[in-house]
Chain A
């Protein structure tokens, strides 16, 4: 009886202790350095990849017309508001002419006055002409009378001198007339200049376009060259894209692109590379390119909006291809962990182009069909024990 009760107790004790020991062994083998590292594996496949290039740019207008005065002055009026469409030749605003109108009036008066001066000079010419022809007649008459000795030599000399005087005053009157005409022409030209200056104060749209900015309002003083109104050509929108220089080989004019505007995230606009700028940005280490829309969005994006541009490059010939997560650098060498009969071997490789989905071309080092570790729970070493699983812990399907 007693024997049985002891046994029953012993069983109870064993029932507690044995599972505890089993659990300890399980724990020791499943965690810590003795546990195998869960990894996922993939088979190297031979396929062609189409690399793509990703860049960020801003929407810009190809042509921006900054319209402002050519001389410093105060703005009298601005006729347009931002967002309005304007036609070529349309008046956008006007600068204050200050005294320009008065100066034109003064020139008008001066012109009239010089007209009178011309008339007076003409009259003087006629007068001197009359006196000259009378003096000439008198002189020739006295010369004939002298031949028949009807007058004294002195009287003839007097007439001759009179003729010379009238000739000189005629020449002076002619010169006066010339000067008066020249003066008229000068005043005329000056007046024309002032009128042109006056016209220059009118701010005229050079092309049909959209008013993008109105930088100053009436009453503001602006200097020469400062823009009052900015007009853009909405049909000429393009995207100034910046690509990291690391991957830009192969970027060229005409490649198709996909454009995503920051404001319209779900929509992809088609476009193409218009040109790759010959000047790269040396500071930011980026290559610049201009990208245009195949068809402009119905609602035009504002100038300066951020856009993501993905350039599709042409597909490359088939090579062994791996996900970039499988490529690691161990002891300074780039390579992958090959799985050979449940053992790991680090195979150094040379990589080629990558695409945006993370596939890497393997130029050298492994062949299609080999098994390679992609993801691992911990960093791997050549002596790591691994367990190949479908998906690692903590990663949702």
Chain B
């Protein structure tokens, strides 16, 4: 028994392989698109993981701190620390902005953390170089995706920060890399106006007779000082004591402190269900269309490959080859093509995924699903081709 399929492939192996590679690149694009979708969801999850919190305490009636702005007074954490079941509570601020370094600037999420030592909520969980923040001012730990290097000076608003540590996969839900700086600096960066605005505000206040009374010399200074305070933060991260469930700890804070508290599950719902929902659906829709188009292209390729061999099939029929043998040949070729396509697709997706500016997560499960999908599509497509082949009149081999 000779393998008809193998013989046929060998006969025109170049055509076969190149068709397979072309198909593979298409499958690669589909796999990458699935990776982009997974990456988006993973960005949102990794943001929650990195914060190291069990609970997020935010302003009442907001979906903060990621999906909506939330501002709390920075002494709220003291009362929360005293609530039952709270192990650690730490203030945190988030602000997405351009961080300048020399000539260039990078879009980053600036996170203000309490420099309280390793393992505190909000601190980056692991580093790939350097050290954690030890000074309470003017030090930064940056995600490696920002392109900053150890020892470089970066500028956030009017202050300069030394990069003392690098981390990885610390991103906002939008995929912007994070830059961690001490909380007090971050509060200043977030709530302090630029110098021109401050100067103008001072002038405006000084021009207001209500604040600049000749009879009350200290009043203007007091008003100006009160205008430049920034005792706000975005959220308090809470770690609960062992033996307490997050919901159990969250309830009294909601009830007695009149603040909104989210658990990890709720936060994930907010991020994935609300914040990135539209963007993720957009990508998901594109993925579905891409998958359908890929399937159609695979089917057409196999169909046309078979039609190209219609004369040879007619000859086979003429010499009395059984239908099963012909069908088997076409099916085997289609599956072979699918195999090459999948291999090329997987390899190419793996190689170009790291080049993407945002995270592309290629999950093995997705790859397996893709593998099964490719085979099912190839098998279905070959059915069409087999039908066409079996309908061929053996006389065509002679008549042409």
Contact = CB atoms under 8 A, between A and B. Distances in A.
Interface of A: 6, 9-10, 12-13, 16-17, 20-21, 23-24, 27-28, 31-34, 54-56, 221-223, 225-227, 243-244, 246-247, 283-284, 308, 323-325, 327-329, 332, 334, 351, 354-358, 360, 374-380, 391-392, 394-396
Contact of B215 (A20, A28, A223): A223
B364 A21 contact: no
B52 interface: yes
B125 A379 contact: yes
B374 to A, nearest CB: 14
Most buried by A among B11, B114, B125, B231: B125
A369 to B, nearest CB: 21
A99 to B, nearest CB: 22
B149 A396 contact: yes
A393 B116 CA distance: 28
B137 A10 contact: no
Nearest to A310: B135
B182 to A, nearest CB: 8
Contact of A379 (B49, B116, B135): B49
Interface in B23-81: 49, 52, 75
B340 A17 contact: yes
A334 B88 CA distance: 12
A244 B139 CA distance: 14
Given A325-B131, A328-B118, A54 B149 contact: no
Interface string B350-368: 1100000000001110000
Contacts of B184: 244, 284
Given A283-B231, A308-B137, A380-B126, A358 B132 contact: yes
A390 to B, nearest CB: 12
The 6 closest A-B pairs by CB, nearest first: A358-B131, A329-B119, A327-B118, A54-B135, A244-B136, A325-B127
Contact of B168 (A17, A27, A391, A394): A394
A332 B347 contact: no
Interface of B: 9-11, 13-14, 17, 49, 52, 75, 87, 114-120, 125-132, 134-138, 144, 149-150, 164-166, 168-169, 184, 214-215, 217, 231, 239, 241-242, 340, 343-344, 346-347, 350-351, 362-364
Nearest to A66: B217
A243 B144 CA distance: 30
A394 to B, nearest CB: 5
Given A358-B164, A375-B127, A13 B10 contact: yes
Nearest to B160: A265
A379 B168 CA distance: 10
A12 B18 CA distance: 13
Contacts of A34: 364
Contacts of B134: 54, 324, 354-358
A185 B367 CA distance: 112
B166 A395 contact: yes
Given A32-B364, A55-B136, A377-B168, A395 B128 contact: yes
Contacts of A223: 214-215, 217
A44 B291 CA distance: 53
Given A56-B137, A357-B134, A392-B128, 18 more contacts: A13-B9, A23-B343, A23-B347, A31-B350, A32-B364, A223-B217, A308-B138, A328-B119, A334-B119, A354-B134, A357-B131, A360-B117, A375-B129, A376-B128, A379-B49, A391-B129, A394-B144, A395-B144
Contacts of A16: 17
**From DSSP, what is the main secondary structure of chain B's interface residues?**
loop
Chain A at the B interface: SS class: mixed
Nearest to B50: A379
A284 B343 CA distance: 60
A85 to B, nearest CB: 26
Nearest to A327: B118
A12 B13 contact: yes
A21 B343 CA distance: 7
A6 B10 contact: yes
A142 to B, nearest CB: 78
Contacts of A222: 214, 217
Contacts of A21: 343
A287 to B, nearest CB: 11
Contacts of B52: 329
Contacts of A376: 126, 128
A46 B288 CA distance: 59
Contact of A325 (B132, B169, B363): B132
Contact of A54 (B13, B17, B117, B136): B136
Contacts of A56: 136-137
B13 A9 contact: yes
B126 A221 contact: no
A396 B149 CA distance: 7
27 contacts: A9-B13, A13-B10, A16-B17, A20-B340, A20-B343, A23-B347, A27-B351, A28-B364, A31-B362, A32-B364, A55-B136, A56-B136, A222-B214, A225-B217, A226-B217, A324-B117, A324-B118, A325-B118, A328-B125, A329-B118, A332-B241, A354-B117, A356-B135, A358-B132, A375-B129, A380-B126, A392-B128
Contacts of B214: 221-223
A329 B87 CA distance: 13
A20 B344 contact: yes
Contacts of A392: 128-129
A160 to B, nearest CB: 72
Given A24-B346, A332-B239, A32 B119 contact: no
